[in-house]
Amino acid sequence: MTIEELSKKTVMELKAYAKKNNIELFDSKTKLEILEILASWAPNENIQVETKKKEKDSAIYSTRNIYWSGVGTLSIGYNIVTKEDADKWLTRKSVRSASPEEVARHYGK
């Protein structure tokens, strides 16, 4: 549901929508406060752009949890990162490249 559609709803309808979608409204009581919170959850055109960017991501496998300041964090197992970050992570001994087929097989596809 878009913000335009949500703005046509009453406060009670907005609260019901938030509850149904497990969105915490905290102490918001006015329609404007509720819409501001829901705006961060409502789908928008930027999501489609991000989906296209993910095609340029790489799968890597880490044998341990790693934090690298300025680069990010890896958990044990398969991680999806940008190609630029993958190049950095692959310099670490405990990180290796993972093929799409390997990741799909791991997740049962």
pLDDT digits over 23-67, tens only?
Answer: 888 888 888 888 888 887 755 544 343 444 445 788 999 999 999
- Provide the residue range defining the domain that includes 75: 53-106
For residue 85, what are the contacts with CB-CB under 8 A and spacing of at least 6? 71, 72
48, part of any domain? no
67 and 37 in a single domain? The answer is: no
37 and 65 in a single domain? The answer is: no
- Predicted TM-score (pTM) of this structure: 0.49
The CA-based angle 16-18-24, given to 5 degrees, is: 130
Number of domains in the chain: 2
Place of tokens 């049962």: 108
C-alpha dist (Å) from residue 75 to 17, 72, 94:
34, 10, 11
38 and 67 in a single domain? The answer is: no
